[in-house]
Structure 1
C-alpha cells in the first residue's frame, strides 16, 4: 500500500495537467474602458467639464487653497458675481457642492467639503442672498472634475460648485 500511494499521487498529477491545458485562458483588456476621460483647462473654461467653472446662468465655481475652506483672492470677486446673479434672478435656487482633491481620507474630505460649501453659502448670504435659496452638500473627493495626482488636477478639484435646483 505504501508503494501504491506515491504512484497514485503522481498519476493524478499527470492526469490533471491536460485538464489545465483545456481551461479557458483569461484575457486582460488593456484599453481604458472606465469611461473616465481627462479634463483639460480648455474643457473647464468652455463648460465641457462635469462640474463647470461657470454654469449656464454665469454662476462661477469657487476654488480653495489646499486643506482650507477660506475664500481668498479673486474667489471673493467670483462670490460677488454670484451674489449679483442671484439677486437679478430672484426665483433662482442653488445647491452648493463642496469638493476636495484626492488626498485625505473619505471622512476627512466629506467634512472639508461640507466646510467649503458652508463657507460659500455664508458668503452668499452675507452678500444679501436669502438663506432659503441656498442648500449645501459635500461631495468629498468622490466627484473630481480633473483626474491626475498632480497640483494642477488637485487645484481644480478643491472647489465649491453651484448647481441650479430651480429657475
Structure 2
C-alpha cells in the first residue's frame, strides 16, 4: 500500500512538473496539494517563479500566519495596574497553545505604560505587566525558558495625545515572537 502511495506521489509530481513546463506562467506560485497521506498536512508542492517545483513546509507557513495574528493582539491594563483581566483570557490561551504546539518558538513579552509617572516607576510597572502575562502563559503550560518578559516603560507609545483614550492604548503588554 505504501509503495502504491509513493508511486502515486511520484506520478503526480511528474504530471505537475510536465504541466508546469508547458505553461509555467499559468501556475507560478500556485500551491498544488500533495496526495501523500504521510505528509498531506506538512508539505505542499508549489511552482516557483522560475517554473520549477519546490516543496513548501506548511507547518512553517501556517506558524508564520499564526504568529502574525498573535502579535496583533495586546493585553491591556487599567491605570496603575498589572493584573491580567479576564477579557484577555482567550489571547493568553492562544499564545500558550501556540508555544506548546511549536517547541522552537520563543516569545518576548513587552510591558508598556502611558507617560504619566516617572521613568523609573514606568519601567517597573511595565516589567510587572510583562511578568504577569508571562506567568499566565506558564500556568497554561508554556515553557518558562521560551518566554521572556521585558519592560519598555513609556518608550513605545501607540498614541501620543494627552487623553484617557490614548493613555489606555499605551497601558499594554505586546507579544513579539523570535524573528519578528
Whether these two folds match at TM > 0.5 is yes
What SS does the corresponding residue of 2:173 show, helix, strand or coil?
A: strand
Is residue 130–residue 150 contact of structure 2 (8 Å, CA) maintained in 1? yes
- 1:58 matched to 2:70: yes
What SS does the corresponding residue of 1:66 show, helix, strand or coil?
A: coil
Q: CA deviation at 1:89?
A: 1.9
Which one has a bigger Cα radius of gyration?
A: 1
Q: CA deviation at 1:88?
A: 2.3
Is residue 83–residue 129 contact of structure 1 (8 Å, CA) maintained in 2? yes
Q: Tell me what 2:152 maps to.
A: 139
- 1:162 matched to 2:175: yes
Q: CA deviation at 1:106?
A: 0.4
Q: Tell me what 1:111 maps to.
A: 124
Is residue 57–residue 85 contact of structure 1 (8 Å, CA) maintained in 2? no
Once the two structures are superposed, residues 83-134 of structure 1 have per-residue CA deviations (whole angstroms, 9 ceiling, x without a partner) of: 1222222211011110001111101000000000000000000110000001
Hey, which of these two has a bigger chunk of helix by percent?
2
Q: CA deviation at 1:162?
A: 0.8
In 1, Cα distance between equivalents of 2:84 and 2:160: 23
Q: Tell me what 1:72 maps to.
A: 85
Q: Tell me what 1:120 maps to.
A: 133
What SS does the corresponding residue of 1:74 show, helix, strand or coil?
A: helix
Q: Tell me what 2:97 maps to.
A: 84
Consecutive unaligned residues of structure 2, counting only runs of 5 or more, are: 1-65
Q: CA deviation at 1:77?
A: 2.0
In 2, Cα distance between equivalents of 1:58 and 1:139: 19
| TM-score, structure 1 normalization | 0.64
What SS does the corresponding residue of 1:148 show, helix, strand or coil?
A: coil
What SS does the corresponding residue of 2:150 show, helix, strand or coil?
A: strand
Consecutive unaligned residues of structure 1, counting only runs of 5 or more, are: 1-53
What SS does the corresponding residue of 2:121 show, helix, strand or coil?
A: helix
